[in-house]
Amino acid sequence: MKLTIIGTGYVGLVTGACFSEVGSRVTCVDVDTEKIKNLKKGILPIYEPGLKALVFQNYKEGLLNFSTSLAEVAKTSSVFFIAVGTPQGEDGSADLQYVLRVAKEIGQNINEYAIIINKSTVPVGTADKVRKILEAELEKRGKDIKFDVVSNPEFLKEGAAVKDFLKPDRIVMGTDSPRAAKIMRRLYAPFSRNRDKVILMNVRDAEMTKYAANSMLATKISFMNEIANICERLGVDVENVRKGIGADTRIGYSFIYPGCGYGGSCFPKDVKALIRSSREVGFEPGLLDAVEKRNMEQKRVLTGKINARFSNDLADKIFGVWGMSFKPGTDDMRESSSIVLIEELIKAGARVRAYDPVALDQAKKEFPEKWLEDGRLMFADNQYHAVEGADAMVLATEWKAFRQPDFKALSDLLKHKIIFDGRNQYDPEEMMEKGFEYHGIGREISGIYRKSP
């Protein structure tokens, strides 16, 4: 089956590579000429474990191709995946201009029955807009060509996207067309061999499912962060509480780890978009508002702890920051807590040395160039270089390389043996035994960790 994927970002490239891996002939289309040139050379625009090998091998075998011309590719394809960005608008809504622009171009070029599959995360009702645009373009051309619009949201975790696509826990398909449903089932059959993973529903249901899923996960994170803040003020160790409630199968352990807030391209944008959609239909989403508010406040918790420890005097203090991507396993820094942390430290007069295993190139785009020029911000070559002579180490992203560091080296390099653990990766009692002053999330009383009895 010949497939066209429009958009070679995170979703589009993973989708194209994984479909080509199971034998489909795929062409990924993007208007960015430089990006397409690089992809043909094996240079990927994103970091995702396992993706580069898939792209290289399938491009080499001719199953995966890249193009800048949708009009040209449309001549030999009848299945189109829209996987372009839906950036957040100033009012919190999803910006659909790229989705609708692609729909228009598809309508201008298809010559036979086609399935237009929306893989981008879009508000409820977007498929109706895509359908109207296609109909209008076909009418302009005087063509009576049948087509179906399908909602097929992705549920990929950054850092595990290839695995999630090849071995999905569910495949949501939104369509009211038996013809489209049959083709979609055949298309996804290689990923659903051991059991039927397809959940078939109407288009609007599928569009809402994506927003509801991400908002639910964001809610769990914000809830646990709220609990962590309460625990800290009541003299309770939130890690014990987490274990206690996670053992309840109705709750589970996933997404109940306290930290310094969620980020990335999905949760923040999707929660805000759903809030906006709710208000547009006259419903005030109090819970979602609280989730968003808690997350924004949580991104400043680490800075608050640092200010409290240093009596609000951060002038000329040096902080070694470990991790900048919004989560481990990706170079994505969109909405990352580390951005808020670094900005607030520097604005308070501190200097920052930061290190991340894969996100350094992305980090250079996130901060003012003058900070790098005048030495207020420096990107280190490794995690130990970042803490050399620093007043404290701040863990912002829980990369595996940071889980069991050389604490002897860390102790020798730091000016003061202070750790601010934004992801509760270290055992506080062990840190105290090693001579460190430890500050975690939801694990302190008056700024100092309380030992368990």
d(CA 453, CA 439): 18
Tokens found for residue 344? 């607030």
Largest CA distance in the chain: 79
Q: Which residues pair with 149 in a beta bridge?
A: 116
The angle, 0 to 180 degrees and rounded to 10, between the axes of the packed helices 301-309 and 337-347 is 30
Token look-up 């609007």 returns: 204
37 by DSSP, 3-state: which? helix
Measured on CA atoms in the order 275, 279, 281, 282, is the torsion positive or negative? Answer: positive
The helix (H) or strand (E) run that includes residue 340 is helix 337-347
Of 115, 137, 61, 47, the C-alpha closest to 363 is 47
Rg (CA), the chain: 24
| Side-chain-facing half-sphere of 414: CA atoms under 13 Å | 22
Strands (E) located in 301-451: 318-322, 351-355, 377-379, 392-395, 418-421, 437-439, 444-445, 448-449
Type of residue found at 119 = K
For β-strands 351-355 and 318-322, DSSP reports them as parallel
Which 8-state DSSP code applies to residue 156?
P
Q: Active-site positions?
A: 266
Which 8-state DSSP code applies to residue 4?
E
Which 8-state DSSP code applies to residue 140?
H
- The strands making up 437-439's β-sheet, listed across from edge to edge, are 377-379, 351-355, 318-322, 392-395, 418-421, 437-439
Contact status, residue 429 vs residue 435, Cβ threshold 8 Å: no
Letter string b/e over residues 272-298, b meaning 16 or more CB atoms within 10 A of that residue's CB = bbbbbbeeeeeeebeebeebbebbeeb
